[in-house]
Amino acid sequence: MRANGILPAVAVIALYLLVPAALGHVDYVMSLIVAALTIGGIAVAWAMLGNLGGMVSFGHAAFFGVGAYVSALLTLDAGWPVFPAMLAGGAGAAIASVVTMPALRLRGPYFALSILAFAHIFRILATELESITRGAGGILSIPVLPTVAGFDLSSKIGSYYVILTIVLMAMAGYAWLRRSTVGLALLAMHDTEDATKVVGVPSTRLKAMMLALSAFITGVVGAFNAHQINFLDPDYAFSGLWTVLPIVAAIFGGYRTISGPLVGALVIYLVDQLVFKSFLPHGHEIILGALLVAMIVLSPTGLVPLVRQTVTLVRQTVTRGHHAAA
């Protein structure tokens, strides 16, 4: 129990202090870490929806794009400060999820496909509603992240702290929700929906709440991205990559764990960009694909559970060794 509490605390301290201290001066690596955390944030939101809401989404790009557009337009056209606009971006994505809610009546692959269709619809809207979104030409000069108490959050390290905080808050909320009574009801709904309904669980409302929450987190991450790269166009904001990469990251890391999606995003993105890309500049993603397949075959629950099992095994072997020696 104590070890369970210490490990996340050490990881959080390392992420806030050690990573910037060790790599803060290497702009390229920090950029990659920020990108990995951006994918990690969506991966956490995606896995939360799957684990607790029981829904597999192929359309999180929709929520990412809506969050990015809402925040960018509020800062540019309505003069909103960046952070409130980012929250409004999340709220915009949550509201957009309401449009997709008729899809909640669908199950399994039908839900996944309908959400994919919604992502496509949002991309078309962003392209065609030129008077609001500036159309296919995109939005330039989106305001950067602000300077707070003399610390420039638009710098590489500043951006890192902002996205890290967003992702960790999402994970903390996810962990809290999973332990709550609502989380228990959501877990039970997967296989025994009628039994949960007859004890008073409003299952459709809870699923809608999960979808809105997942969309909110994804929207905030999308908004962060818009203010970090200062540019947006429909093809970029609603790109299928914002759906595929988080799914790959979550499955690789272990989508049923809280930390798995983030660990997966950091490992696959950084290994891909820093290692595979160096010796296979074109088509390096193929190694990533092979790695994912290998993970699914060898450890379907993902990297984090695999590491946990290995650590437990090593501990048991060491303990046995000590006993034998005694």
Partner 1 sequence: MLQLEDISVAFGGLAALSNVNLRVDNGEFVGLVGPNGAGKTTVFNVISGLVKPTAGNARFIAMDLLKQPIHARARAGIARTFQIPQPLHELTVRQNLIVAQKFGTGHSDPKRIDEILDFLGLTERAERNAANDLALTEHKALEVGKALATDPKLLLLDEALAGLETTGKRQFTQMIKQLHEETGLAIVIIEHDIETISELCQRAVVLDFGKVIADETPERIFRDPEVMRSYTGERSA
CB 318 within 8 A of CB 326: no
Task: Give the angle 104-60-62 at the CA atoms, nearest 5°.
Answer: 95
Using CA atoms, how far residue 80 sits from 86, 228, 230, 297, in Å, is 10, 16, 15, 48
Cβ proximity to partner 1: between 28 and 176 the closer is 176
Cβ proximity to partner 1: between 24 and 305 the closer is 305
Sequence-ordered list of residues with C-beta below 8 angstroms from that of 64, at least 6 positions apart, any chain? 42, 93, 218, 219, 221, 222, 225, 237, 238, 242
Q: How far is the CB of 192 from partner 1 (least distance, A)?
A: 5
Cβ proximity to partner 1: between 79 and 200 the closer is 200
Question: CA–CA separation, 46 vs 83, rounded Å?
Answer: 23
Question: CA–CA separation, 101 vs 267, rounded Å?
Answer: 33
129 by DSSP, 3-state: which?
A: coil
Place of tokens 């029981």: 54
Place of tokens 């890192």: 160
* Backbone torsions φ then ψ of 151, nearest 5 degrees: -100, 120
Q: How far is the CB of 78 from partner 1 (least distance, A)?
A: 39
Q: How far is the CB of 300 from partner 1 (least distance, A)?
A: 18
Q: How far is the CB of 198 from partner 1 (least distance, A)?
A: 5
Q: How far is the CB of 189 from partner 1 (least distance, A)?
A: 8
Sequence-ordered list of residues with C-beta below 8 angstroms from that of 97, at least 6 positions apart, any chain? 63, 208, 211, 212, 214, 215
Cβ proximity to partner 1: between 38 and 196 the closer is 196
- If one counts every other C-beta atom within 10 angstroms of the C-beta of residue 134, the result is 20
Closest CA to 164 of 256, 292, 44, 317: 44
Question: CA–CA separation, 302 vs 321, rounded Å?
Answer: 29
Cβ proximity to partner 1: between 120 and 178 the closer is 178
Cβ proximity to partner 1: between 199 and 298 the closer is 199
Q: How far is the CB of 274 from partner 1 (least distance, A)?
A: 38
Query: What tokens were used for 188?
Result: 């039970």
DSSP code, position 102: G
Q: How far is the CB of 253 from partner 1 (least distance, A)?
A: 21
Cβ proximity to partner 1: between 1 and 199 the closer is 199
Cβ proximity to partner 1: between 194 and 279 the closer is 194
Cβ proximity to partner 1: between 183 and 219 the closer is 183
Q: How far is the CB of 55 from partner 1 (least distance, A)?
A: 16
Q: How far is the CB of 19 from partner 1 (least distance, A)?
A: 35
Closest CA to 75 of 60, 91, 66, 88: 88
Residues forming contacts to partner 1 in the complex (CB under 8 A) are 181, 184-185, 187-188, 190-192, 194-203
